[in-house]
Amino acid sequence: MKYPRGVRAPNSNYQANKQVQYGQRGMTLEKDLDRTNQFYLDSKKAVIHKKPTPVQIVNVDYPSRNKAKITEAYFKVPSTSDYNGIYKGRYIDFEAKETRNKTRFPFINIHAHQVEHMRQCHLSGGIVFLIIKFTVHDEVFLYPFEHFVKHWDHFLNNGRKSITYEDIKNESIILPMKYNPRYDYLAAVDEFYIEMEQ
């Protein structure tokens, strides 16, 4: 900045720095949810964790004792959903997804085995939902599985291959970004699930 007028000083590195920040957008939702879950754990509100992806390590390169590097590994079994845990005595299971699409959430972003896992959790009485971030709009939604699965089942019967942004907006609860917790999705769980049951 040029002092005192606050005009940006010419900087050849400005464009490069801007590109680096843009390149990290894909991981922001997951990092924010991990931070939120840590806040819930620290405040004894809920115990919710990201599930590790089960992998089978096949080959490891040891260039030195402290620099072991996995060079070949395979997924043991198809993964289920991203997060699970317990809140107010209820099992919680959810998937977190980001899309850069402005107008829709394409089903190519989620796997059939993940949806079937969520369906089984829902049928067993769990609280199940998706957290979807539209990066272009910078909006994050808690999308109840009850609404999502209607679109999914329609897709399986040769229907649309996506859910429109407007449908998600109308059928979801928006999660505003805050300092801590980053996205208070349990407030939305209270609103949609817990309060409705009382």
Q: Is 93 known as a binding-site position?
A: no
Task: Burial-class residue 43 by CB neighbours within 10 Å (0-12, 13-18, 19+).
Answer: exposed
Question: CA-to-CA distance for 81 and 51, rounded, in angstroms?
Answer: 8
Residue 15 token pair? 């464009």
Task: Burial-class residue 119 by CB neighbours within 10 Å (0-12, 13-18, 19+).
Answer: middle
Task: Burial-class residue 170 by CB neighbours within 10 Å (0-12, 13-18, 19+).
Answer: exposed
Q: Is 114 known as a binding-site position?
A: yes
DSSP string for residues in 117-176: HHHHHHHTT-EEEEEEEETTTTEEEEEEHHHHHHHHHHHHTT--SEEEHHHHHHHSEE--
Q: Which of 5-9, 91-95, 136-140 has the lowest mean pLDDT?
A: 5-9
User: In the chain, helix, strand, coil percent, each to 5?
Assistant: 40, 30, 30
Residues forming beta bridges with residue 64, ordered by sequence position: none
Domain locations along the chain: 25-52+78-197
Return the top range by mean pLDDT from 13-27, 61-75, 147-161.
Answer: 147-161
Evaluate if residue 25 carries a pLDDT over 60.
Answer: no
Question: Which amino acid belongs to residue 100?
Answer: R
Selected from 3.40.1350.10, 3.40.50.2000, 3.30.565.10, 3.40.50.1370, the CATH number assigned to the domain covering 25-52+78-197 reads: 3.40.1350.10
Q: What tens digit of pLDDT does each residue of 27-65 get?
A: 589 999 999 999 999 999 999 999 766 555 667 777 776
